[in-house]
A and B are shown apart, each in its own frame.
Chain A
């Protein structure tokens, strides 16, 4: 049984089955969009937290660190409540669309990007402060140097965010609804097909998912190694 499922899974992958590829495409599109948005919001936010002292900063840092462990189903529930017909953003009609899934995954990735970039930039700023001040690069003038010199560590943070969003099932299931050809991702499809007994499809998607996770981690490893060359 499992053997034939395994063979069928390989057929799906190698045969480039359109429905199968569609699911992979939805997953990638949603997760990459979420990581991009989280990077655009999270990198400046993390930098701000790293460089400025204000009341409540410590509380905020602890809160952001804690949110890195936000359970995906809770993130999904919050976005569901906000986007449902009776919710504050219900009028947008986004529930059960890829857009809603992107919002939910952004919520999961954002704390990772903010927390890690805060840490990276703060360490660099403490080390570089005198030199950059001497060069007249203070405040926002220092940010390009800090982000550039932290580029490898920051790329690793984004890859960690990608890994988390790609692997989660709870949030996208709640706000996406697992609609075939529309909001069905690899993780939600695996959950559904396994419970329905279509192990071939589940297994095939599982292999692709594993492969993508492997690629993301290999990239993170390679990036960190290049970074160490310059970090000394």
Chain B
């Protein structure tokens, strides 16, 4: 199937802004995400990483500017073309496989097809033995991997991830990063927020530095992480950013 014909990428944010509580929390974001990117959004807590992801995914309406998808649609709802994994993933009160097939059913697949694809997704990421277990009693690492498998099962062109391993131990973090590398290797475009510079270094092809709601700079991962162009970025990477 010629998927590129209806590709939602590149994604472009144009003068994107978001206001809440009388303050401007996201301001003048210009951002482009191309097919095949693995973009890490780095920045201190409260920089607006989560808000930016939610705006791009369409969970929040922008206060100014716009989010433009290449095929003119891409809005949340209907057939899924982009998906999101939240910082603390929502686990439905069902089995692990039930969680995945629920998402597939929401994306329009029939019951049998949804179950088949759900089991295949669990199998692909080595989660097959968790399939019948209630999702909410899984460990933190298992829940996070299930959430990623659930989103990946939808076969989105672009996957947003908010701090995919912020609450995990090193072993679980490695497993999550292996999943993301696998997805990116398979052609999926990824945009993830992280405050872990090592993770950005290990996974990202591009890095964007966010501070106080503004995108300070974006560029190839090696450039930004090794020789940032802005003082703010340099300070954050050196670990002495004052805010």
Contacts and interface: CB of A to CB of B under 8 A. Distances in A.
Given A131-B86, A229-B134, A136 B76 contact: yes
Contacts of A137: 106
Contact of A134 (B57, B92, B135): B57
19 contacts: A127-B90, A130-B86, A131-B86, A131-B90, A132-B106, A134-B84, A134-B86, A136-B76, A136-B78, A136-B107, A145-B92, A149-B93, A227-B93, A229-B137, A230-B136, A231-B93, A231-B136, A232-B134, A232-B135
A-B pairs with the 9 shortest C-beta distances? A232-B136, A136-B77, A131-B90, A135-B106, A230-B93, A149-B93, A232-B137, A230-B134, A134-B84
Contacts of A145: 92, 102
B196 to A, nearest CB: 22
B235 interface: no
A138 interface: yes
Interface in A203-232: 227, 229-232
Contacts of A229: 134, 137
Contacts of A127: 90
Contacts of A132: 106
Nearest to B82: A134
A145 B135 CA distance: 15
A194 interface: no
Interface string B86-116: 1001111110000000110011000000000
Interface string A85-123: 000000000000000000000000000000000000000
A148 to B, nearest CB: 8
Contacts of B134: 229-230, 232
Given A131-B86, A229-B134, A231-B136, A136 B91 contact: no
B104 to A, nearest CB: 10
Contacts of A136: 76-78, 80, 106-107
Interface of B: 57, 59, 76-78, 80, 83-84, 86, 89-94, 102-103, 106-107, 134-137
A140 interface: no
B86 A133 contact: no
A186 B102 CA distance: 45
Contacts of A149: 92-94
B154 to A, nearest CB: 8
Contacts of A138: 77
Given A231-B136, A232-B93, A232-B137, 11 more contacts: A127-B90, A131-B90, A132-B106, A133-B59, A133-B76, A134-B57, A136-B76, A136-B106, A145-B102, A229-B137, A232-B136
A74 to B, nearest CB: 37
A135 B107 contact: yes
Nearest to A133: B59
A145 B106 CA distance: 10
A201 to B, nearest CB: 46
